[in-house]
Structure 1
Amino acid sequence: MNNPLRANIALTLERERARRGLSHMHMAELFRTAEGEKLAYRTYIQTVRQKNNVTLTTLQIMANGLQVSFAGLLAGSKKVPDWAHRLDDNAIRRRLAHIIDFERQRRNLHRYEMAELIGVAEATYMKLERASGNISVDTIAAIAKALKLDPATFLFSEKNPPGKADTSSPTSVPKGL
């Protein structure tokens, strides 16, 4: 799959590595969880090479380690609103859930029909709609493609109306970066 999100993430990681003057090994050392576990070097290298389907949880570890925004990792050089830089992986899940539910209702589709449209199993769709599970960037890109939206920016678009539980609206300040 030609995924612009993978390319944006890889570019951002390489740009940050060059800016900091770090080797790949030292760059990978920056990625530790709150529990002190580090992200596998192999995961980092495969992400830089665009060879793995990185998940939101892994991206949050990378964003935290680099002290960059989650939106910046996904959007790359594309402009996103200032509020989007404060989103974390949970806010992204909630925002994605709201967008797919909004689009499903706008298109007057049943859940199984929306699952078919975005190319996921119905059980996976239900997890997406509930903002649960560890969503991958390939899934996000596939959803954007099916909805004919830009994968790098649709999660941060102010055209997508915020939902009641969506803390990513410009008037609120979500937890995270």
Structure 2
Amino acid sequence: MKRDDGGVVNNPLRVNIALMLERERAKRGLSHMHMAELFRTADGEKLAYRTYIQTVRQKNNVTLTTLQIMANGLQVSVAGLLAGRKKVPEWAHRLDENAIRKRLARIIDFERQRRTLHRYEMAELIGVAEATFTKLQRASGNISVDTIAAIAKALKLGPVTFLFSEKIPPTADLAVFDKVEK
């Protein structure tokens, strides 16, 4: 994805994430420094302040792993960060970064089969190398929001709409999650 003269990429997911972070910061009455302190990895390490600021300024190609850290710190869902003010189905709020990777893999495979494309043709269509496409299909690797937006654009779909569409049912993992939670 290309940057404008100010270094900002035209990616609606970046916009949604930045808006959500700013909204949460204002709601909590925190400075940027204190907001960034909320974001810690499972090992207790802080997310870099620079990562947070660049994300708020929409200059950072944030990954699903980083979004999960932010969502955990704010006690919101990854889907909520990605969607911003857009409404998503309730089940989408229970998806973690791994479930979103799996969902993206299912969507890509669904679209590839629907369009009767070979794997290399689908990789070409969505603008990634075949090795990257293989990682996407296997739901592995740390996928960035720019990659998600680029896939959506190539498929002529809205990034939030296609990720959380009811056309493709929630992943099987969610059914297991629901049983454990009840």
Pair 1:136-2:144 in alignment:
yes
Give secondary structure in 2 for the equivalent of 1:173: helix
Contact 1:29–1:38 (CA<8 Å) still a contact in 2?
A: yes
Q: Any conservation in 1 of the 2:91–2:170 contact (CA below 8 Å)?
A: no
Counterpart Cα distance in 1 of 2:155 and 2:135: 18
Q: 1:115-135 deviations in whole A, cap 9, x for unaligned? A: 000000000000000000000
Instruction: Sort the Cα spacing of 1:77 and 1:52 in 2 relative to 1 into closer, same or farther, 3 A.
Output: same
The residue number in structure 1 matching 2:89 is 81
1:96–1:131 Cα contact (<8 Å) kept: yes
Instruction: Name the Cα RMSD after superposition.
Output: 1.7
Aligned residue runs from structure 1 range 55-74, under 5 A? 55-74=63-82
Change (3 A) 1:138 1:168: farther
Query: Measured at CA, do residues 174 and 62 of structure 1 come closer, stay the same or move farther in structure 2, by a change above 3 Å?
Result: farther
Q: Among residues 159, 163, 178, which one is paired with 1:173 in the alignment? A: 178
Q: Which runs of 5+ in 2 are unaligned?
A: 1-8
Task: Give the structure 1 partner of residue 116 of structure 2.
Answer: 108
TM-score, normalization by structure 1: 0.93
For the pair 1:13 / 2:18, whether they are aligned, the reply is no
CA distance in 1, matches of 2:44, 2:14: 26
Alpha-carbon distance in 2 for matches of 1:47, 1:162: 28
1:153 offset after TM fit, Å?
Answer: 2.5
Distance 2:177 2:154 in 1: 29
Answer 1 or 2: which has greater helix percent.
Answer: 2
Q: Structure 1 residue 160: deviation in Å?
A: 1.9
User: Shift in Å at residue 173 of structure 1?
Assistant: 2.9
Q: Aligned equivalents of 1:150 and 1:22: distance in 2?
A: 32
Aligned residue for 1:22, secondary structure, equals coil
Distance 1:92 1:107 in 2: 22
Listed as ranges, the gaps of 5+ residues in structure 1 are: none
SS at match of 1:152: helix
Note closer, same or farther for the CA distance 1:156–1:108 as it changes in structure 2 (3 Å cut).
same
CA distance in 2, matches of 1:81, 1:162: 10
Q: How many residues align?
A: 172
TM-score (ref. length: structure 2): 0.90
Mean CA deviation greater in 143-152 or 116-125: 143-152
Percent identity of the aligned residues?
A: 84
